[in-house]
């Protein structure tokens, strides 16, 4: 089985590539990445083939999809704040990019497409936990582009009978997640600041909550979906119903590091949701045997990975 990963040199993609190559059913993994947010070094030590290119180029997509059994579409322009500054770029990369991937999958023989959506699509809908049947109410351009990602994916399942799956990711974290840039996700940003001895920046009071999901758990679910050719015509939350405040994360990091990092509270950001927590019933119906990595265990693994990097040695 050949599997194509768009965004395959990124954080989730490079972890997923390793997980897929560990499965006996998978013979080849090809990563398509324009390296705008991914890194060649993320694939070091693997047999993943990197093709540098964009999902907006049909010819490149056709070339990498030849002979493939599945595409896992992770390629995107991430970050709510980035989308607030440049909504058109987010739309092109995330919405139009998804449509191009789906068209390529059709040309390749209606192969399976698994797309990465986001919990941000729930947006202003404050009901918890977030169930897939709830009204979506995106409040940022990024969230709108991710709603388009899942809607296009599922529409191709309905319209063309393609095997499709759209996962809504909830604050995925873990090794290989970049920090030290303006759009870094909250956990790598916290760990980076703590290891450098500078204050952790919290937007708001820190009591906002997230359903943090370790990347190893996410990649196991996706690999199971690829190998098992799982499909669904409705979106699926890829998270397990935890709910942790940012202040609690700081407490955990203080315990792991043996000292409490300084914290600086600043104004809340436009487009950020207050609370996030997944209902996992639909996920469990497809993947009943997956056991999520606990937050403490995942944080320890992530901190240990950060400590191997030259900047923190």
Residues 238/221, Cβ–Cβ less than 8 Å: yes
Give CA separation, 97 vs 108, 126, 143, 224, 234, in Å: 17, 29, 15, 25, 20
Alpha-carbon distance of 201 to 194, in angstroms, equals 10
* Domain boundaries defined on the chain: 2-173+213-241, 186-209+242-284+286-307
Omega of the bond prior to 129 within 30 degrees of 0, cis? yes
Provide the pLDDT for residue 182. Answer: 64
CATH superfamily of 186-209+242-284+286-307: UDP-galactose 4-epimerase, domain 1 (3.90.25.10)
The model carries a pTM of: 0.95
Rounded to the nearest angstrom, the gap between the alpha carbon of residue 46 and the centroid of all alpha carbons in its chain is 20
209-210 and 164-169 beta bridge pairing: unpaired
- Return the CATH number of 2-173+213-241, one of 3.30.450.40, 2.60.40.1120, 3.90.850.10, 3.40.50.720: 3.40.50.720
DSSP codes, 22-35 = TSTT--EEEEEE-S
Going residue by residue through the chain (313 aa), what tens digit of pLDDT does each one get?
999 999 999 999 999 999 999 999 999 999 999 999 999 999 999 999 999 999 999 999 999 999 999 999 999 999 899 999 999 999 999 999 999 999 999 999 999 999 999 999 999 999 999 999 999 999 999 999 999 999 999 999 999 999 999 999 999 999 999 887 666 789 999 999 999 999 999 999 999 999 999 999 999 999 999 999 999 999 999 999 999 999 999 999 999 999 999 999 999 988 888 999 999 999 999 999 999 999 999 999 999 999 999 988 7
Residues 31/43, Cβ–Cβ less than 8 Å: yes
Q: Which helix (H) or strand (E) holds 167?
A: strand 164-169
Q: What are phi and psi for residue 176, nearest 5 degrees? A: 80, 5
CA angle 116, 286, 132 (to 5 degrees): 55
Alpha-carbon distance of 73 to 145, in angstroms, equals 14
Residues 192/306, Cβ–Cβ less than 8 Å: yes
172-173 and 213-214 beta bridge pairing: parallel
């Amino acid at each position: 089985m050949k599997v194509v990963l768009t965004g395959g040199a990124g954080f989730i993609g490079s972890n997923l590539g390793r997980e897929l190559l560990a499965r006996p059913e998978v013979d080849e993994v090809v990563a398509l990445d324009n390296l705008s947010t991914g890194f060649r070094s993320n694939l070091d030590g693997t047999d993943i083939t990197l093709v540098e290119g964009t999902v907006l180029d049909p010819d490149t997509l056709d070339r990498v999809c030849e002979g493939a059994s599945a595409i896992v579409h992770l390629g995107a322009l991430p970050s709510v704040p980035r989308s607030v500054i440049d909504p058109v770029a987010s739309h092109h990369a995330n919405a139009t990019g998804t449509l191009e991937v789906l068209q390529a999958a059709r040309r390749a023989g209606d192969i399976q497409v698994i797309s990465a959506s986001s919990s941000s699509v729930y947006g202003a809908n404050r009901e918890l936990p977030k169930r897939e049947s709830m009204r979506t109410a995106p409040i940022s351009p990024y969230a709108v582009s991710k709603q388009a990602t899942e809607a296009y994916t599922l529409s191709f399942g309905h319209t063309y009978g393609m095997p499709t799956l759209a996962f809504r990711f909830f604050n995925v974290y873990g090794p290989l997640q970049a920090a030290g840039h303006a759009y870094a996700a909250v956990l790598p940003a916290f760990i980076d600041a703590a290891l450098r001895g500078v204050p952790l920046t919290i937007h708001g009071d820190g009591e906002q909550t997230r359903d943090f999901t370790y990347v190893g758990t996410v990649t196991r679910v996706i690999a199971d979906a690829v190998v098992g050719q799982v499909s669904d015509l409705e979106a699926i939350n890829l998270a397990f119903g935890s709910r942790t405040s940012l202040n609690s994360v700081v407490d955990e990091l203080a315990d792991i590091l043996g000292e409490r990092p300084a914290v600086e509270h600043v104004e809340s950001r436009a487009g950020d949701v207050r609370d996030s927590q997944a209902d996992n019933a639909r996920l469990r119906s497809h993947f009943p045997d997956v056991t999520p990595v606990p937050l403490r265990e995942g944080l320890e693994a992530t901190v240990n990975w950060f400590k191997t990097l030259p900047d923190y040695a």
